[in-house]
Chain A
Amino acid sequence: MAERAATYLGDDITAALAVDSTPPSSKLSPGDWAKTNLFSSAANTIVTAIVAVAAGLLAFFALRWIINADFAIIRANLRIFMIGQFPREELWRPWASGYVMILGAGLTAGAMARNSHELALSQELESVKEGWGQLLRRFWPIIAASIFFVSFARTVMPYIGLAAAYVLVVVAREVGWRLPAAIRERALFIGVALFIVAMLVIAGTSRLGGYALGLVAFLWALSELSRVESLPTGFAGTAVRFVVALVVAAIVAIVQNLIPHDGFGWEDWGGLHISLFTTVIGITLGMPFGILLALGRKSNLPVLKTASVIFIEFIRGVPLISLLLFSNLMLPLFLPIDFERPADLTLAIIVVTGFSAAYIAEIVRGGLQAVPKGQTEAAQASGMSAAAVQRFIVLPQALRAVIPAMVGQFIALFKDTSLLSIIGLLEFLRVSDTSNAQQEFVGKGLASVTYLFVAIGYWAFAYTMSKESRRLEAKLGVGHR
């Protein structure tokens, strides 16, 4: 240091630059580390002592409690915690569905990682394939939690199942990475289609499943046709594309409906499964509505603007619990009188979708405001229609900017699904209450054990997502504009 300072003080700048400018090593000896971080002053030493004693006591009592706690209640109810009251002979369904979902997630993740890798290379940026160590660091809470959950199993099957799942995810990601470019470009459709197939496996085929698959087929066909350059431009081309896509969708839906409808349905789902399911569905369905509401709120047409503002502000001004009470007690009253009352979960999902749409609308509005006005003006100047300006110029930039906030909304909604317990759905948190009401465990004061188990389950997912959100924020550079 001294010689560097001396060089700086001299006139010779080249000499100063020539001096090795690597910062001094930050490695401290344990003694020095403790001195700077724990005992830097008298006050600090006292604080360290007090806090260390308090934390030590807390850790001691927590550890003693955990060692002495009776985890039999979780062993007996593990299946209900995970998937609710699923019939025993149908248990292959959640496992198979989980594998299909993991396959889809692995393929999509691998393919998309390869896509952005290739893109970076084509722009001559540095990019290396993410190693397994990095993935482990990103997803350790979920991995640890899954092992923690399985450790309560009473048979060997769940252990084998979980190991198989991890093998599958590794293989699927590698396969996704190696897929030919033509398939990789369509990775998102593969992922969504496999997700719906997974839902059909667990719920059994149904007319609703047919519609969902048809919708994916429709969007996929549209995106395929938009690449065909021989089609005429203008209205005729659009019409041809829509008709062909509709025909494809109809074929898919009809084929799905040819499979005999059987299965468990979703009325009696439960456990962690519906917490995750409701979150995914709420965000996916809420997204298009949210984007429309955000555009409505930004528009200068008073009817659309007023309607959007009233909807958004009303939903955001009341607690979710009042909306869930509404779904349970009032929503069925709005159906035509000869309609049967839908399942509680269906009603709840309708309300959760509206709820997340209002919050997503506000997030998207923030993204829309972040797009510079010059973008819109340039697009208008080049003669694009109002819809095209939004579709091709504004929304892609706005949605990219709000990805981290959207992950944050996903976390918030996942935590909010715990409220489904209050309207009587057997979701993750409520299993804790029902298992404490079982004959062998009632009155034993085991609520704290089950609540801790539930808290760890929620934490693992939410913490992983919040880490991902921070990573995306850094990667997209959203916070630095």
Chain B
Amino acid sequence: MIKFLLLLLAVAAIGTAIYVVGRLIYDIVAMFRNRAATSEGDKAVLWRDVKAIGIAAQIVALAAIVGVGNFLWGNFRDRTDAIGLELGFDFLDQPGGITIADNPLIAGDSVGKAIVEGFFNTIRIIMVGIPAALILGTLIGIARFSSNWIVRKLATGYVEFFRNIPPLVVIVFVWSAVFLNAFPTSQEAWKPLGEWFILSNNRFAIPSLMGQDNFGPFRWILLGALILAAAVAFWRTKVFDNTGAPHHRVLWGLGTFFGIGLIAYLVLGGPVSMSKPMLDDRGRVFSDGFRIQMPFAAITVALIIYTATHISEIVRGSIMAVHKGQEEAANALALSTFQRYRFVVLPQAMRVAFPPLISQFLNFSKNSSLAIAIGAAETTNIINNLFGQSQPAPQLILILALLYLTLSLVLSAIGNLINRRLQIVGR
């Protein structure tokens, strides 16, 4: 995956260079053709021709970029040669010596695999954190319009406090003051429901599902059921649009999914079973179940707290941008507060809010790199550990930047796609 991205980057760089140089040559040719076609009286002298000045400026700029780049690259090669640094990417296949707690990665696995595992952890943080921050931020944004004074003031206080301190401070505070100090140690883990819920300052564990015989086909059947459920929900929406009959699309969809799932489960003879967290003799969780390392929980919670304040400000602004008549009309129809927000205000507000929300989602994904400060094993942290293993820094920094660039591009592409669906389609 990393090598593929590197290849993509190389292709993009070469493509850009060809485009720029080609475009420049094309412009020069076009300019001289144009000048040749213009009669002598209308023609400006060459050094007063706007096109010529532009082309000259670009040639100077290109020469400066190439010159400075060449100078820096020369220095770079001198220095890397002096300290004997290899500039290839073969080190990605060497054993990395990195292990991550609660992750099947072993010390003998390659550097590339360790980085990819770290990247998956980054994605996990983002996939939990962004929806949660969106929900919390929207609720707080609405709470600032509450008719209840105390709710309003508390929401304002929360936003104005957390918005104005650095996310890194929120993260280290949540980690070392709350998670590390206020939670019990792993020997005295908090187990209110026995093995069903185990919380300590080291791990959080709940039971999970584990695949048995026939798990492979079962997985594919579930995927099919999901697609079918989506199709059923879509059909119900169509029926509703055409006839106005109640659609109940969520019920229909869930019914389809769980119906097929139940039949498949019975037919395949129990392809999944419950896996409870296992405790060692000192009462510590060590295997099975669904386990989360506490640093991951801390970074996710801290970033949710921080990002929700920014999201709430965006939501608040967008609600204020919804025409007041809409709210009054909803009140006149005797809609409840929930109905008013759910069906009238929020759909219109979200249309305004979504573009700035995308940039908050991007900020969230970039801020997840701050997990380096509390030792959650995500991309930045893994790469920082690899520096310590005397792996080559220049390539690793390039890979680090490349991974986050990819993430940013993909996230903003998804965001723009959703945004296009949210906007009103003009006739």
Interface residues, chain A, CB within 8 Å of chain B? 36-38, 40, 44, 47-48, 51-52, 55, 301-304, 306-307, 310, 314, 316-322, 325-326, 329-330, 332-337, 386, 411, 415-419, 421-422, 429, 432, 445, 447-448, 451-452, 454-455, 458-459, 462-463, 466
| A318-B401, A459-B165, A466-B163 known, 6 other contacts, Cβ within 8 Å | A307-B61, A318-B404, A319-B370, A322-B400, A418-B169, A458-B166
Given the interface pairs A330-B393, A333-B80, A448-B176, the reply to whether A301 lies near B57 with Cβ below 8 Å is: yes
A296, closest chain B residue (CB): B61
* Residues from 14 to 53 in B contacting A, C-beta threshold 8 Å: 16, 19-20, 23-24, 27, 50
Partner of B58, one of A301, A320, A329, A432: A301
Q: Which residues of A contact B405 (CB under 8 A)?
A: 314, 317-318
3 closest A-B pairs (Cβ-Cβ)? A448-B177, A37-B149, A462-B164
CA–CA, A249 and B347, complex, Å: 60
CA–CA, A313 and B173, complex, Å: 32
CA–CA, A314 and B370, complex, Å: 19
Partner of A304, one of B61, B151, B163, B370: B61
| Residue B150 is within 8 A (CB to CB) of chain A in the complex | yes
Q: Which residues of A contact B164 (CB under 8 A)?
A: 411, 415, 458-459, 462-463, 466
Q: Which residues of B contact A447 (CB under 8 A)?
A: 172, 176-177, 181
Interface string of B354-381 (1 = CB under 8 A from A): 0000000000001101101100000010
Partner of B76, one of A314, A322, A334, A429: A334
Q: Are A319 and B404 in contact (CB under 8 A)?
A: yes
Q: Are A44 and B148 in contact (CB under 8 A)?
A: yes
CA–CA, A334 and B150, complex, Å: 57
CA–CA, A432 and B177, complex, Å: 13
Q: Are A335 and B75 in contact (CB under 8 A)?
A: yes
CA–CA, A37 and B75, complex, Å: 68
Q: Which residues of A contact B163 (CB under 8 A)?
A: 462, 466
B interface SS class: helix
| Residue B240 is within 8 A (CB to CB) of chain A in the complex | no
CA–CA, A306 and B384, complex, Å: 32
Q: Which residues of A contact B27 (CB under 8 A)?
A: 302
* Residues from 215 to 250 in B contacting A, C-beta threshold 8 Å: none
CA–CA, A454 and B401, complex, Å: 30
| Residue B258 is within 8 A (CB to CB) of chain A in the complex | no
Q: Which residues of B contact A455 (CB under 8 A)?
A: 165, 169, 173
Partner of A303, one of B62, B76, B154, B166: B62
19 A-B pairs (CB sep. < 8 Å): A38-B149, A47-B151, A48-B148, A51-B150, A52-B150, A307-B61, A318-B401, A321-B370, A321-B372, A321-B380, A325-B384, A329-B393, A330-B393, A418-B169, A421-B168, A432-B172, A447-B177, A447-B181, A452-B173
Q: Are A462 and B20 in contact (CB under 8 A)?
A: no
Least Cβ–Cβ distance between A273 and chain B, in angstroms: 16
CA–CA, A458 and B62, complex, Å: 42
Q: Are A429 and B168 in contact (CB under 8 A)?
A: yes
Q: Are B169 and A304 in contact (CB under 8 A)?
A: no
Given the interface pairs A51-B154, A325-B397, the reply to whether A333 lies near B166 with Cβ below 8 Å is: no
Q: Which residues of B contact A319 (CB under 8 A)?
A: 366-367, 369-370, 380, 404
Partner of B173, one of A302, A332, A416, A451: A451
* Residues from 291 to 327 in B contacting A, C-beta threshold 8 Å: none
Q: Which residues of A contact B369 (CB under 8 A)?
A: 319, 321-322
CA–CA, A330 and B75, complex, Å: 12
Least Cβ–Cβ distance between B405 and chain A, in angstroms: 4
Q: Which residues of B contact A306 (CB under 8 A)?
A: 16, 19-20
Interface string of B161-202 (1 = CB under 8 A from A): 101111111001100110001000000000000000000000
* Residues from 130 to 161 in B contacting A, C-beta threshold 8 Å: 147-151, 154, 160-161
Least Cβ–Cβ distance between A218 and chain B, in angstroms: 23
CA–CA, A421 and B164, complex, Å: 18
| Residue B54 is within 8 A (CB to CB) of chain A in the complex | yes
Partner of A55, one of B57, B154, B380: B154
